[in-house]
Amino acid sequence: MTQEYLLQVRNLRTSFRIAGTYHAAVDGVNLDVSKNEVLALVGESGCGKSAMALSLTRLHNMNYTSIEGEIFFNGNDLLSMTLPELNKVRGGRIGMIFQDSLTAMNPLSRVGAQIEEVLTYHTQLSMSEKKERALELLNKVGIFNPALTYNQFPHELSGGMRQRAMIATAIACSPDLIIADEPTTALDVTIQAQILDLLDDLRMNTGGSMILITHDLGVVADIADRVAVMYAGQIVEIATVYDLFENPLHPYTRSLMHSMPSALSEEARLHTIQGIVPSLQNLPRTGCRFAERIPWHPATMHEAEPTYHEVTPGHFVLCNCYKTFNLGGA
């Protein structure tokens, strides 16, 4: 694979075993992430965003999960690596920020020890150097009293401070790629903005790349370079952030955009998308997967076997239905 990209995902299919049968939650995804790029992955809950994030570093329980395809990171296929080889990449070259810091962090280990554990595994620093680095990281992520936080347990911190401590752990080894899976979940609006500004500043200062998984399109507009819209396990549209907001094409993307509240709109009620994301067992595996949620759109306008169409350079959309879709039918 070309070294032009830091990460290249080819035909990724992640399936979970349910009642003895495997069902794909991530179904044939292709994705590229350039160096020093923020790629946002957006979509409703249940679309496969987190399943894809955990697949990139093989963090699923493989007793009931199947991961197929190719994931090239710095030219090396992560899916073909042995576990010891992969562990050198996880936490070292790829940092992971999870949704819930309280469950992601070890409740029985002090914050400083958790940061130092990463440094022990991936560096040759002495004990004093690791402590110094941990305090430096806590300071870098905006914790007011690093020395105090260093000796605290996760439950003693507020949600915002825990999130900062988890970010400090994720960036401890200056990773080339950060995967942030809804890093501001359950935080209030003010803290959300602080955490997102922090992530953007860290990415800018280190020159690394980031995959930001979120359902908040306002966040995407602020910090992303490109956006991949995911629905029912597939990428249905991908474009630069400017192109996507100026000219959203796929019916699902347009529906998401239309669901955003706006101070400029005089409408009293917010638009809602009909129906829900189907469960894995009931996921349609042929045709346009969004078709059943836009029943007013003629079935003949969808492709029987949807393909990607490059509308403008770098702007891809899945299925021909974007050409005739009328949002007013909602």
Token couple for 17: 């075993």
Return the closest-CA partner of residue 165 out of 213, 122, 206, 117: 117
Q: In what order do the strands lie in the sheet with 308-312?
A: 94-97, 177-181, 209-214, 38-42, 226-231, 234-240, 315-318, 308-312
**Prediction pTM value:** 0.92
Read off the pLDDT of residues 210-257 as tens digits, 9 standing for 90 and up: 999 988 888 898 889 999 999 999 999 999 999 999 999 999 999 998
What per-residue confidence (pLDDT) applies to 24? 96
| Torsion angle of C-alpha atoms 266, 250, 245, 177, degrees rounded to 10 | 130
Q: How does pLDDT run across 165-202, given as a tens digit for each residue?
A: 999 999 999 999 999 998 887 778 888 888 888 888 88
H-only helix segments in the chain: 49-56, 83-89, 101-104, 111-122, 127-140, 146-150, 159-170, 189-206, 217-223, 241-246, 251-258
pLDDT digits (tens, 9 = 90+) for 266-324: 665 667 888 899 999 988 899 999 999 999 999 999 999 999 999 999 999 999 999 99
Helix (H) or strand (E) holding 25: strand 21-34
The tokens describing 104, both together, are 């992601």
Collect all residues with Cβ–Cβ distance below 8 Å to 308 and sequence separation of at least 6: 316, 317, 318
* Cα–chain center distance at 287: 26
Position 264 pLDDT exceeds 80: no
Q: Please provide the DSSP assignment of 55-119 as one string.
A: HHTT-S-TTSEEEEEEEEETTEEGGGS-HHHHHHHBTTTEEEE-S-HHHHS-TTS-HHHHHHHHH
Say if residue 11's pLDDT is above 70.
Answer: yes
Mean of the per-residue pLDDT values for the chain? 91
- Whether 3 shows a pLDDT value over 60: the answer reads no
pLDDT in tens, 103-128: 899 999 999 999 999 999 999 999 99
* Residue 20: how many other CB atoms lie within 10 Å: 5
What pLDDT score does 268 carry? 58
What's the rounded mean pLDDT across residues 29-43?
A: 95
Dist. CA 120–CA 125, nearest whole Å: 7
pLDDT of residue 267: 60
Q: What is the mean pLDDT of residues 14-39?
A: 95
Q: Is 1 a residue whose pLDDT tops 80? A: no
What angle (nearest 5°) sits at the alpha carbon of residue 148, between those of residues 176 and 155?
Answer: 80
Going from the C-alpha of 83 to that of each of 12, 34, 59, 147, 189, the distances in angstroms are 19, 25, 11, 35, 39
